[in-house]
Structure 1
Amino acid sequence: MKTLCIIPARGGSKRIKNKNIIDFCGKPLIAYSIENALNANIFDDVIVSSDDEAIIKVALDFGAKVPFVRDQSLSDDYVSSDDVIKDAIKILAKMGKSYDNICCLYATAPLLSPEILKQAFDSFLKNKSKFLFAAAEFSYPIQRAFYLNAQNGVQMFDESKYSTRSQDLIRAYHDAGVFYFGTSKAWLEEDFMFKPHSSVFLLEKNLVCDIDTLEDLEFAKKLFLINQQKS
């Protein structure tokens, strides 16, 4: 059984310039994902899929492989990670490299550890699901969520749940946006991961931070330093 880790990392990020290689507590952000993948000792290969020369250089410097340069058609704001993973699987197959399992690990996941990746992979193999991805519980009951209408007035999605005790509401979870394990067959054939054929690996809230803005980046750094002190 062969397992591949693919780290998607395109250039041209807009909200945070050079986000994937920006300094994060002394190292390029992507370096944490590369090192965690390598040190987990569960992958036969760790590659970075990128269209950017600077990212490719950093990836190689930290021990990842870059067997191809991603096509520009797969490097804009509207291309999904699924498309990038499928593309990588197909390109590698043409090179004579095939894998049973694929992990998509985001370059913006510095709060993870090799141990978490190993535990998640073990769960994926044990569950025998098509996919397993990291998830976290919502901190507030989503059944009590509301939106603002055209007049900026408050409108609940479901008023009937307003008086229901929190402990009586179904717990809700969200994609943590850090890693996704799947069989190669599932990556190529399935078009949607969020179905009963998938399972999840739950993460504590201190390990989850979606880095989209500079404020997110600074918050992630604080979480990282706090987690380092606890370990």
Structure 2
Amino acid sequence: MSLLAVIPARGGSKRIPRKNIRPFAGRPMLAWPVAAARDSGLFDTVMVSTEDTAIADAARAAGAEVPFLRSPATADDHSTLLDVLAEVVAAYQDRGQTFDAVCCLLATAALVTPDGLQRGHQLFRSGDFDSVFPVVRFGSPIQRALRRDAAGHTAMLAPEHYASRSQDLEPAFHDAGQFYWMSAAACLAKTPTFSGRAGSFEIAETAAQDIDTPTDWHLAELKFALRARGPDPRA
């Protein structure tokens, strides 16, 4: 089975400038998912899709390939991951190279592990899925979520659950923001990741951190440091 890892890393991040190559735990941020992909032993090719030459240089230094730069059509603020994946898969096909499956691995997934990538691939191969990705359980029941207006007035989104016990409510999950396994055909068709035949597996809240704000970055550093310490010997 021929497998491709695609790490999208656009240069135009607004909220955290240059976050894809900003130093994180002693390496450029994207070097961590590149290392996880390579250490997993799964992939024939680990590539970074970028329009930015500095990011391309950092990607190559980390051990990834950058065989071509991203086109202007997929390098703006409105391009989606599916647009990028379709472009990458089509470009490889034009070069005579095809893949059975593709893993879109986010450039800021510093907490991703080779084991997690292998676990996702195993689930993807074992089931009838268009996509597979890790999810994290919400810490509080979303059925008891609150809304509030500018004046501070607060009300339940689902008041019918006012008296519901937390343990009686269905658990809910959110995307871990790490990676998405898909078939090459699903990439070309731009099949929505969270619809159709989507599959997932649960990981711990401490094992993932989406990074969009400086606070997110700090939380990722704390979780990374916690993991580096290893299990608590007193546990």
TM-score tier (shorter) = over 0.9
**Residue 66 of structure 2 is aligned to residue 66 of structure 1:** yes
Structure 2 match to 1:143: 143
Q: Which amino acid aligns with 2:184?
A: S
Structure 2 match to 1:81: 81
Question: Which stretch of structure 1 is more off in the superposition, 15-24 or 152-161?
Answer: 152-161
Aligned residues: 231
Separation of aligned partners in 1, 2:179 and 2:2:
18
Separation of aligned partners in 2, 1:8 and 1:30:
9
Alignment of 1:184-223 (within 5 A): 184-223=184-223
**Residue 39 of structure 2 is aligned to residue 39 of structure 1:** yes
Separation of aligned partners in 1, 2:59 and 2:193:
28
Question: Which stretch of structure 1 is more off in the superposition, 208-217 or 37-46?
Answer: 208-217
Structure 2 match to 1:112: 112
Q: CA deviation at 1:102?
A: 0.5
Q: CA deviation at 1:155?
A: 2.5
Judge conservation of contact 2:132–2:182 (CA < 8 Å) in 1.
yes
Structure 1 match to 2:55: 55
Separation of aligned partners in 1, 2:18 and 2:195:
34
Structure 1 match to 2:171: 171
Q: CA deviation at 1:15?
A: 1.2
Q: Which amino acid aligns with 1:7?
A: I
Structure 2 match to 1:153: 153
Q: CA deviation at 1:188?
A: 2.2
Alignment of 1:92-111 (within 5 A): 92-111=92-111
SS in structure 2 at match of 1:20: coil
Judge conservation of contact 2:86–2:189 (CA < 8 Å) in 1.
no
Q: Which amino acid aligns with 1:63?
A: G
Q: Residue 174 and residue 64 in structure 1: after superposition, are their counterparts in 2 closer, same or farther (change >3 A)?
A: same
Q: CA deviation at 1:150?
A: 5.9
Structure 2: gaps spanning 5 or more residues: none
Q: Which amino acid aligns with 1:92?
A: Y
Separation of aligned partners in 1, 2:183 and 2:93:
14
SS in structure 1 at match of 2:97: coil
Q: Which amino acid aligns with 1:80?
A: T
Judge conservation of contact 1:149–1:155 (CA < 8 Å) in 2.
no
Deviations 1:2-55 (A, max 9, x none): 110000000021111110000001000000010100110011100000000110
Judge conservation of contact 1:30–1:108 (CA < 8 Å) in 2.
yes
Separation of aligned partners in 2, 1:75 and 1:182:
21
Q: CA deviation at 1:187?
A: 2.0
Please give the TM-score of this superposition, normalised by the length of structure 1: 0.96
Q: CA deviation at 1:80?
A: 0.9
Return structure 1 stretches of 4+ with deviation > 3 angstroms: 149-152
SS in structure 1 at match of 2:30: helix
Q: CA deviation at 1:103?
A: 0.4
Q: Residue 81 and residue 130 in structure 1: after superposition, are their counterparts in 2 closer, same or farther (change >3 A)?
A: same
Judge conservation of contact 2:83–2:190 (CA < 8 Å) in 1.
no
